[in-house]
Amino acid sequence: MSQANTAGTTSSHAVTYPRFLWRAVKLSTDGPWFFYAWMTLLTALFLVGVHAWAVQVRDGMAVTNMTDHVSWGLYIANFTFMVGLAAGGVMMVIPAYLYHDDEMHEVVILGELLAIAAIVMCLGFVMVDLGRPDRFWHLIPGIGRFNWPISMLTWDVIVLNGYLLLNLHITGYLLYKRFRGEKPDKKWYLPFVYLSIAWAISIHTVTAFLYCGLGGRPFWNTALLAPRFLASAFVSGPAFIVVAMLIVRRVGGIPIGEAPIRTLTGIMRVTILISLLMVVSEVFTEFYTGGSHIASAEYLYFGLHGHYALVPWVWTSIGMMTLAAILLLKPRVYDNKPLLVAACCLAFVGVWIEKGMGLIIPAFVPSTLHEIVEYLPSLSEWKITVGIWALGLMVFTLALRVSIPILTDQESLYLSRGRRA
């Protein structure tokens, strides 16, 4: 009897799963006019990025402004930020599953979908940073030399791809069971949810270790780097999700309550202050004690020997994050949606600058030869970066377009609404 039931279940899945995939394709390609306009814009930006990358592959990294002195630029800066954005998605999972917040549980999938899109962008930024992308197979275990567990780059490859697979499994399983009208079996997703919480912390910790383990770059040699990464990740992730929830509620008509927005706003109030405190602590340690390794920090914050390229960037970041903190500390800021969106956008952009241009580039200036070679991204780098961001937003948009109707049992309504539009 057991074998008969197993055979029947397998046969049922063989029929239902293709239907599930077909419905996902239909949902992702059907929508109102503003959905098509948004996707058209993202596709155009993505194609601009693809063209710029093709030129870079043809002509080499000479089309970028990176040099032997500054070998990591805008691509790795965005990679670092995206790892944090992926880790920040866990701030939806922790209240839902560890603290049993039922209202947060209803929208937790937004954080998991954000993690998937962010990891896709991470992989994209790593790919375009390779001078010879055709040699990426050296990173594949069993084919190339993986250098595990010695290499921190190897650990980064493992944790990022592992986190991507975890979130794909969790979201895919929950959506498939909802599509079938069945209650999810906890043993098939709950252990993976708890694992993803620890894994989210590990992906940014490993990335921080990758930097602070480089002894030749004293700007990164601080024990505070990993906690600082996590604190800023728990600012940018909730900031993006809050704005996404407000857009989904307004445009898609999805009944998202106020409780998740209040919870994430409360998290941001704390984490943005911790993040700013860590920046102040770093600045105090560097400048009050002085020493031979102060040059990179001096170049970043005040300029060095007439070179000031990064000074406007870092002070813009500090100003944005400070203003965002002031707005978030305003009583009941979550009731004033324009103010809340402004605070989230300021925090998001501020963290992007602080973790990107304000963290990666200064470590290379001055160089190990004590030469000052400044770096600002070239037009090709900006085009490729915009293209990868467009790809990530397309992934996130399509994932939302597929997930929300299935989770709210409104697939037929969404399809008919799209045809009418």
Q: Does 328 score more than 50 pLDDT?
A: yes
Cα–Cα distance for residue pair 318/313, rounded to 1 Å: 9
Tens of pLDDT, residue by residue over 306-320, are 889 999 999 999 999
- For each of the domains in the chain, give its residue range(s) and CATH number, in order of start: 31-420 (1.20.1630.10)
Cα–Cα distance for residue pair 141/147, rounded to 1 Å: 9
State the pLDDT confidence band at 228, using cuts at 50, 70 and 90. Answer: very high
The region of weakest confidence among 10-24, 303-317, 381-395 is 10-24
Q: Does 12 score more than 80 pLDDT?
A: no
pLDDT attached to residue 409? 62
Tens of pLDDT, residue by residue over 152-172, are 888 888 888 899 999 999 888
pLDDT attached to residue 410? 59
State the pLDDT confidence band at 1, using cuts at 50, 70 and 90. Answer: very low
Q: Long-range contacts: 10-19, Cβ < 8 Å, 24+?
A: 16/179, 16/180, 17/176
The share of the chain scoring above pLDDT 90, in percent, equals 48
Q: Which residue has better confidence, 249 or 150?
A: 249
What mean pLDDT is predicted for residues 88-102?
80
pLDDT attached to residue 9? 56
The share of the chain scoring above pLDDT 70, in percent, equals 91
Q: Does 28 score more than 80 pLDDT?
A: no
pLDDT attached to residue 122? 94
State the pLDDT confidence band at 16, using cuts at 50, 70 and 90. Answer: confident
The region of weakest confidence among 8-12, 78-82, 320-324, 371-375 is 8-12
pLDDT attached to residue 151? 79
pLDDT attached to residue 419? 46
What mean pLDDT is predicted for residues 348-374?
90
Q: Does 411 score more than 60 pLDDT?
A: no
pLDDT attached to residue 233? 92
Residue 376 · residue 101 · CB < 8 Å: no
Cα–Cα distance for residue pair 140/136, rounded to 1 Å: 8
Neighbour tally for 323: CB within 10 Å? 15
Three-state SS annotation for the chain: CHHHHHHHHHHHHHHHHHHHHHHHHHHHCCCCHHHHHHHHHHHHHHHHHHHHHHHHHHHCHHHCCCCCCCCCCHHHHHHHHHHHHHHHCHHHHHHHHHCCCHHHHCCHHHHHHHHHHHHHHHHHHHHHHCCCHHHHHHHCCCCCCCCCCCCHHHHHHHHHHHHHHHHHHHHHHHHHHHHCCCCCCHHHCHHHHHHHHHHHHHHHHHHHHHHHCCCCCHHHCCCCHHHHHHHHHHHHHHHHHHHHHHHHHHHCCCCCCHHHHHHHHHHHHHHHHHHHHHHHHHHHHHHHHCCCCCHHHHHHHCCECCECCCHHHHHHHHHHHHHHHHHHCCCCHHHCHHHHHHHHHHHHHHHHHHHCCCCCHHHHCCCCCCCCCCCCCCHHHHHHHHHHHHHHHHHHHHHHHHHHHHHCCCHHHHHHHHHHC
The region of weakest confidence among 96-100, 142-146, 261-265, 343-347 is 142-146
pLDDT attached to residue 418? 45
State the pLDDT confidence band at 415, using cuts at 50, 70 and 90. Answer: very low
pLDDT attached to residue 414? 43
pLDDT attached to residue 213? 85
What mean pLDDT is predicted for residues 76-97?
88
> What single-letter amino acid sits at 96?
A
- Residue-averaged pLDDT of the chain: 86
Query: What's the pTM value of the predicted model, to 2 decimals?
Result: 0.90
Residue 302 — φ and ψ, nearest 5°?
-130, -5
What mean pLDDT is predicted for residues 218-236?
91
Q: Does 292 score more than 80 pLDDT?
A: no
Residue 364 · residue 218 · CB < 8 Å: no
State the pLDDT confidence band at 377, using cuts at 50, 70 and 90. Answer: very high
